[in-house]
Amino acid sequence: MKRPIAYVAGTGRGVPSHVMTNFDFASIGIETSDEWITERTGIKQRYIARNGETTCSMAADAARQAMQRANVSAGELDAIVLSTATTDRLLPSTAVDLQAQLGARRAAAFDISAACSGFIYGATVAEGLIATGVTETVLVVGAEKMSSIIDWQDRSTCVLFGDGAGAAILKRARHTPSGQLPKGILSAYIRSDGTLADLLYRPGGGSTNPLSDAVLAERSQFVKMAGREVFKHAVRSMSEATDRALDGAKLTGDDIDLLIPHQANMRIIEATAKHANVSMDKVFVNVDRYGNTSSASVPIALDEAIEAGRIKEGTNVLLVAFGAGFTWASMVIRF
């Protein structure tokens, strides 16, 4: 089917009120420093959920903002696609809890799990739903409470992650008058490689390894990461994803006005931009203020970029991400 099928009608974000800086780790007994964290990651602070803030409550904040900006009511939503690795409960999905909070009674709601690539996966699913004619208007959300699955005794991981949510409303693409460039999703690419799963995963907590005294004693309910290997595969997969999205949109790096990569690590961001031939002045970066918010990373950055005036009518935006799985994904959108 000829693209664009869907366009982004509005975006939003929701983050906790509490900010944790690099200097705050000393108060919980982590031997690290602002200089060490900043040099290796580019992160200066992150938002951490407290006082009853949940994956669903952050998702609801982001969703309501996106709906308001898109001038869409809860009753107009045909579907809700929510990506998260930190569901508030195992059953039912966080998406149906969000549906209830929004009052979107006629929407089909479901979770997907693609870790940090999840928002782009979700937007691709939403585009497909619109293409089939099943839906006209879809809410896509990436929401994470990473602080709930991080080992706060493990310096190598606890400094990296933060909490938050980002959302977008996707609607069926409008007819484009003659002579105007079409607005919407120009290309999308998603891939995964399960043979790399043990590089970034949570060993305990599933049905094959439920929480037990042994699991808790080994702290295997928390995220484990082989940092050096993750970095290597992240650069490789995000480079491939940028190539495929650009090819699909029949564009080059010179045609991209703004690159929004997954905000995991400054060195990965810089390597991805270099491969795509996009100068750093055309790369949106907020990893210093949010850390790695997993599937919320790309939509939070997208919303901030729009709010900051970095994205206007006619802007070509390249989204790219990688995550546990391994998963990787990319998308080109003309606004």
Q: What is the DSSP string of 226-285?
A: -HHHHHHHHHHHHHHHHHHHHHHHT--GGG-SEEEE--S-HHHHHHHHHHHT--GGGB--
pLDDT recorded at residue 175: 78
* Six-digit token string for 18: 């509490």
In a domain, 179, yes or no: no
Residues 116, 36 share a domain: yes
In tens, the pLDDT along 301-319 reads 999 999 999 999 999 999 9
| Bridge partners (DSSP) listed for residue 316 | 334
- One domain for residues 96 and 162: yes
Write out the two tokens for 59: 């998702």
In a domain, 28, yes or no: yes
| Token reading at 171 | 């609607």
For strand 79-83 and strand 137-145, is the pairing parallel, antiparallel, or unpaired? parallel
117-146 average pLDDT score? 98
List the one residue out of 49, 103, 93 whose CA is nearest residue 73.
103
Residue 208: inside a domain, yes or no? Answer: yes
Beta-carbon contacts of 215 under 8 Å, excluding residues fewer than 6 positions away, are 203, 204, 205, 209, 221
Mean pLDDT for the stretch of residues 31-57: 96
77 or 204: which leads in pLDDT: 77
User: Among 56-65, 84-93, 122-131, 224-233, which is the least confidently predicted range?
Assistant: 224-233
Distance CA(15)–CA(21), nearest Å, equals 15
Same structural domain, 30 and 108 = yes
- Short-list 71, 95, 68, 100, CA closest to 84: 95
164 and 24 belong to one structural domain: yes
Provide the pairing of β-strand 258-261 with 316-323.
parallel
CB hemisphere CA count around 86 (13 angstroms)? 29
Give the pLDDT score at 2.
Answer: 87
- Shared domain for 95 and 116, answered yes or no, is yes
Would you place residue 162 in the very low, low, confident or very high pLDDT band (cuts 50, 70, 90)?
very high
pLDDT in tens, 177-217: 776 788 999 999 999 999 999 999 988 787 788 888 777 77
**CB 19: neighbour CB atoms within 10 A?**
14
| Count of domains forming the chain | 2
**Same structural domain for residues 134 and 28?**
yes
Mode of pairing for the β-strands spanning 108-112 and 79-83 = parallel
17 lies in the same domain as 147: yes
Supply the DSSP string of 96-123, one letter for each residue.
HHHHHHHT-TT-EEEEE--GGGHHHHHH
Give the pLDDT band (50/70/90) at residue 165. Answer: very high
Q: What is the DSSP letter of 156?
A: H
The answer to whether residue 191 is domain-embedded is yes
Mean pLDDT, range 209-226, rounded to an integer: 82
Last residue of a domain, one of 130, 145, 172: 172
Cα distance between residue 264 and residue 155, in whole Å: 16
Q: What is the mean pLDDT of residues 266-281?
A: 96
The residue segments making up the domain with residue 131 are 6-172
Asked whether residue 10 is domain-assigned, the answer is yes
Instruction: Please tell me the predicted confidence (pLDDT) of residue 206.
Output: 79
**Within this chain, do residues 278 and 194 fall inside the same structural domain, yes or no?**
yes
One-character DSSP codes across 220-235: TTS-EE-HHHHHHHHH
Residues 22 and 158 in one domain: yes
- Same domain for 140 and 27: yes
My answer on whether 155 and 192 are in the same domain is no
Q: Do 153 and 225 share a structural domain?
A: no
Which of 137, 172, 207 is the last residue in one of the domains? 172
Q: How far apart are CA 70 and CA 171, in angstroms?
A: 9
In a domain, 264, yes or no: yes
Band the pLDDT of 105: cuts 50, 70, 90.
very high
Q: Choose one of 127, 145, 172: the last residue of a domain.
A: 172
- The verdict on residue 220 lying in a domain is yes
Which residues neighbour 192 within 8 Å (Cβ) at sequence distance 6 or greater? 114, 325, 326, 327, 328
Are 50 and 91 spatial neighbours (Cβ–Cβ below 8 Å)? no
Residue count of the chain: 335
Residues identified as active-site:
116, 262, 292
- Residue 248: how many CB atoms within 10 A of its CB? 17
CA dihedral 223, 298, 135, 257 (to 10 degrees): -160
